[in-house]
Structure 1
Amino acid sequence: MWSAERRQSYADSTPDTRMVASKCGLYANRNANADHSCVTTRNQDPMTIFFTSGTTGSPKMTEHSHSSYGIGLTVNGRYWLDLTSSDILWNTSDTGWAKSAWSSIFAPWIQGACVFVHSMPRFDPTTVLDTLSRFPITTFCSAPTAYRLLVQHNLTSYKFKSLQHCVSAGEPINPEVMEQWKRQTGLDIYEGYGQTETVLVCGTFKGMKIKPGSMGMPSPAYDVKIIDKHGNALPPGEEGDIAIKAKPTRPFCLFTQYIDDPERTDSTLQGNFYITGDRGIVDEDGYFWFVGRDDDVINSAGYRIGPFEVESALIEHPAVVESAVVSSPDPIRGEVVKAFVVLASDYVSHEPEKLIKELQDHVKKVTAPYKYPRKVEFVQQLPKTVSGKIRRNELRKQEWGKA
């Protein structure tokens, strides 16, 4: 049943908007094919195989069961996407990736929500903003890369009459991007954290206080801890592995295996925990904070530096559109922070050395003096996976002569 406000939004919509709503089945019942018959499956029977995104190495073939994704993604739809049967969800993820299964198939279908689809050869910010203005989309799900591109436009010139809930996942979203989106649209971005191997691990859920930069709290599906290398839970404020309790009972929504790779499958378990491969901390309020992939954390003269914090500091500066931070060899410190920076068009002609010093001083001011990038390289674009995640491993290999 639509609310009075949503009925009015539909009444005010254009004919092509109503056509989409009709095809979504919001008010039209379709008879099932008479030849269709269901096949009985067991909960652990294989259902899907997705490749991981390949941000830190070669993609892995990840098997999920009828239970892990078929039922497990209920937590995504009900708690994080906050979907009801009255909602229209647009998820911009390409259909080849697990995020599409998360937010374009199982989560919305389980909740009875409508799935909006837009065919775009490539991500185009203007098309996305026009679409959010034209159609009665209530929930928007996209990657941080997309939001970073969207906030480069004047969002105040668009009116999102139906949009109520915005979420982001795939990699951490910079607090500065969240602030710009909120300031120009009046809408918050609710971050979610998970992997191809899992359903939602942590999230900021509707009604929760948003702590920009935090991935939120554990989802109802998992018991999440920050642990040391021995599998012991760490207290608030101490960095460790982000891990999910997997013994004595393995969560039903966790992946089954990496296909034809039992050794790698077994390597994900440490003591009683499934190890995500990500580093983080938990604060006194129970909010989790991402530090970086285990391979991405930079150890410079004994200091451990997470690339995400430095990248977030850089993007606060008006000169920076995007940045990627990796380790770079150094004869004294072992390794140092290096930043690859995509400049805003207004700053491309600025004197490089002066601008580098300005960016370095900015990072020192908003983080800590030892975290600033001692090396900065301006680039036209950053290497990304097909799903839009930054391939820091490619930049790191380039720095260490392993490309």
Structure 2
Amino acid sequence: MTRSHTDDRRTAAAQDRYQAIHQGFGWKVPKRFNMAHACCGQWAAQTATARRVAIREHVAGQGLGRRFTFAQLQSAANRLSQVLRAQGVRRGDRVAIVMPQRFETAVAYMAVLQMGAVAMPLSMLFGPEALSFRINDSQARVAVCDESTADALKQARPDCPGLQCLIGVGAAGEVADLDYAKACAAQAATFKPVSTLADEPAVLIYTSGTTGNPKGALIPHRALIGNLTGFVCSQNWFGFDPDRPGSQTQAVFWSPADWAWTGGLMDALLPSLYFGRPIVAFNGRFSPEAAFEILQSHGVTHTFLFPTALKAMMKAVPDAKARYRLKLQAIMSAGEAVGDAVFGYCQAQLGVTVNEMFGQTEINYVVGNCARLWPARAGSMGKGYPGHQVAVIDEAGQLCPAGTPGEVAVNRLDVHGQPDPVFFLGYWNNDKATTAKYTGDWCRTGDMAVADEDGYLWYQGRTDDMFKAAGYRIGPGEIENCLVKHVAVANAAVVPKPDAERGAVVKAFVVMSPDCLAQRPTGAGQAAFDDAVRAQLQAHVRGLLAPYEYPKEIEFIDQLPMTTTGKVQRRVLRLQEEAKALATKPGAAA
């Protein structure tokens, strides 16, 4: 562990500055604000910062790739803005960006945003049907893709009559309407940005709910400002670090989070560029080995890693401290509960206390920890970040007492009664869903938590993940965290299995750890081996949690269903169990 890491830990233990920071903070949102200017234009316009590296590309197995300065990013964005204007894109129009982490993806965001148009990020993992729904619903006129997404877009296009132009980056230029490189080369490297209001729409991100079609959350330019307190705190004062001379030019950010999602766009790409720091772009498949390679070869100082990624890294490289020379100053994690096993691993092997964070597309980066300035508690989501008034409320919108489960909600106003800039504008063409999101001034998240006496929130799961078994209310996160502590478990998901007598029983889906799989026999001996491991895991949970929480049934699977943002899709497993129960009912159709 380096001296700076040790100092951070001592600082966190020695003082808790949360109340002073929270009460003393006030928002300063200008009337006019544009994400692209804040993240690139301002740096490219200054001689002292124009040559600062903005994007570093990483090539799997080769290490360091191309590097691009803020001046190069702005020049490329200007050219693409001219191309988009020539295709008829105007202020407020939606432009689909369907690419992985790469320089041209950052260019596309800057180009669209500085035009006053609306960037619509779409995951490279989307199939034709998912793409066509979002393109049609948003009425996007232009889409920018590369070779990884061109085929899916071509398949979707016959169902997208409003999509007028497809711009192809790299090899995709051969099959698209316009070749990105050729079209941009024909345009001037100058462009006059549109002066947007802070309240104008900037990004349209579609979120998947538990039922129905995805909803488009319309994000204004000001939301980036609303994200910043959480980003700075969760990254241990990223961008403001007087205790480490020269650190402002040395900070390097990386996250495997897809830039098409809130976690990659608003929690990684845009805030890193806002503070004039470089971010690493890697579009290869995530693996623990690749993660450690990137962290070490680029000297990454700040990162956002999903709990599932950290779990995989912990299981694959338990002795990371001995094998890698890391420069980490902060790790933010979100999406699922981290749990104390991963929490301890990050401290002991990665040299930092992980800062859990909670947010969602509509109201992002609102709750979390900052180990440098107030104590982080293992397994806790943390507290409301400065500028955000966060509470746990009941169904009627009343505050829940400490220790009582409720729904996490964020008030439209901060603690000083001023508007919180982090809020989304509403769901695209869906006023009913927008209205349903609120109870008075409280915006509901759909996530359950318990607040303790000190104001720390403890995640209990989605409102639709919570369930009752034999009369007890069960939150899957605590059981999953307990299972992952066992050496035989790489990952786990807990759901209710319908039961005629008890309503439901606790069922766990478990992915075995590499060491356990190496010992697992094939053929006749496998069933006995699995039974033995199953009994060990049940005894493990029963010995650490309440008797009613241990999984009555454990099923071993190769991998858990995951979203593209790294969250376990418990709903898929729950519906699977409900379908099985329905099929076995007396009188069920054969």
Moved more, 271-280 or 55-64: 55-64
Matching residue of 1:388: 566
Cα separation, 2, equivalents of 1:258 and 1:134: 41
8 Å CA contact retained: 1:76, 1:102: no
TM-score for the superposition, normalised by structure 2: 0.61
Evaluate the alpha carbon distance shift between residue 356 and residue 249 of structure 1 in structure 2; reply closer, same or farther with a 3 A threshold.
same
Matching residue of 1:204: 369
Cα separation, 2, equivalents of 1:104 and 1:79: 13
Matching residue of 2:311: 148
Instruction: Compare the two structures and name the one with the higher helix fraction.
Output: 2
Cα separation, 2, equivalents of 1:395 and 1:112: 42
Tell me by how many angstroms 1:56 deviates: 7.3
1:361 aligns with 2:539: yes
Matching residue of 1:168: 333
Report the 3-state secondary structure (helix = DSSP H, G, I; strand = E; otherwise coil) of the residue aligned with 2:266.
helix
Cα separation, 1, equivalents of 2:67 and 2:557: 46
Matching residue of 1:340: 509
8 Å CA contact retained: 1:77, 1:110: no
Matching residue of 2:386: 220
Tell me by how many angstroms 1:163 deviates: 1.9
Aligned-residue identity in percent: 33
Q: Deviations over 1:283-341 (max 9, x none)?
A: 11111110010000011122111000010011111111100001110111111111001
Tell me by how many angstroms 1:136 deviates: 2.1
Q: Deviations over 1:346-385 (max 9, x none)?
A: 4342622232222112112211111111111111111111
Q: Which amino acid letter does the alignment assign opposite residue 369 of structure 1?
A: P
Aligned to 1:292, which of 426, 442, 461?
Answer: 461
Following superposition of structure 1 onto structure 2, how do residues 1-400 of structure 1 map, counting pairs within 5 Å?
23-24=68-69, 35-52=190-207, 58-69=213-224, 71-81=225-235, 82-84=237-239, 85-86=248-249, 87-120=251-284, 122-154=285-317, 155-205=320-370, 206-246=372-412, 251-348=420-517, 349=520, 351-400=529-578
Report the 3-state secondary structure (helix = DSSP H, G, I; strand = E; otherwise coil) of the residue aligned with 2:355.
strand
Tell me by how many angstroms 1:156 deviates: 3.0
Report the 3-state secondary structure (helix = DSSP H, G, I; strand = E; otherwise coil) of the residue aligned with 1:99.
helix
Cα separation, 2, equivalents of 1:128 and 1:75: 26
8 Å CA contact retained: 2:489, 2:511: yes
Evaluate the alpha carbon distance shift between residue 246 and residue 290 of structure 1 in structure 2; reply closer, same or farther with a 3 A threshold.
same
Tell me by how many angstroms 1:47 deviates: 0.7
Q: Which amino acid letter does the alignment assign opposite residue 37 of structure 1?
A: K
Q: Deviations over 1:111-133 (max 9, x none)?
A: 2222222231x112212111211
Cα separation, 1, equivalents of 2:453 and 2:447: 20
8 Å CA contact retained: 1:55, 1:385: no
Evaluate the alpha carbon distance shift between residue 324 and residue 56 of structure 1 in structure 2; reply closer, same or farther with a 3 A threshold.
farther
Tell me by how many angstroms 1:271 deviates: 3.0
Report the 3-state secondary structure (helix = DSSP H, G, I; strand = E; otherwise coil) of the residue aligned with 1:23.
strand
8 Å CA contact retained: 1:67, 1:253: yes
Cα separation, 1, equivalents of 2:412 and 2:479: 32
Evaluate the alpha carbon distance shift between residue 273 and residue 117 of structure 1 in structure 2; reply closer, same or farther with a 3 A threshold.
same
Q: Deviations over 1:80-111 (max 9, x none)?
A: 22321432111211121111112333212222
8 Å CA contact retained: 2:231, 2:365: no
Q: Which runs of 5+ in 1 are unaligned?
A: 1-15
8 Å CA contact retained: 2:492, 2:510: yes
Cα separation, 2, equivalents of 1:43 and 1:221: 17
Aligned length: 384
Moved more, 28-37 or 305-314: 28-37
Q: Deviations over 1:31-68 (max 9, x none)?
A: 86662211121222111011225577753211101112
Matching residue of 2:172: none
Q: Which amino acid letter does the alignment assign opposite residue 230 of structure 1?
A: A
Cα separation, 2, equivalents of 1:326 and 1:18: 40
8 Å CA contact retained: 1:24, 1:115: no
Report the 3-state secondary structure (helix = DSSP H, G, I; strand = E; otherwise coil) of the residue aligned with 2:233.
helix
TM-score for the superposition, normalised by structure 1: 0.88
Compare CA radii of gyration and give the structure with the larger one: 2
Report the 3-state secondary structure (helix = DSSP H, G, I; strand = E; otherwise coil) of the residue aligned with 2:347.
helix
Q: Which amino acid letter does the alignment assign opposite residue 42 of structure 1?
A: L
Cα separation, 1, equivalents of 2:197 and 2:68: 32
Cα separation, 1, equivalents of 2:542 and 2:213: 35
Tell me by how many angstroms 1:22 deviates: 6.1
Q: Which runs of 5+ in 2 are unaligned?
A: 1-58, 79-188, 240-247, 521-527, 583-590
Evaluate the alpha carbon distance shift between residue 57 and residue 203 of structure 1 in structure 2; reply closer, same or farther with a 3 A threshold.
farther
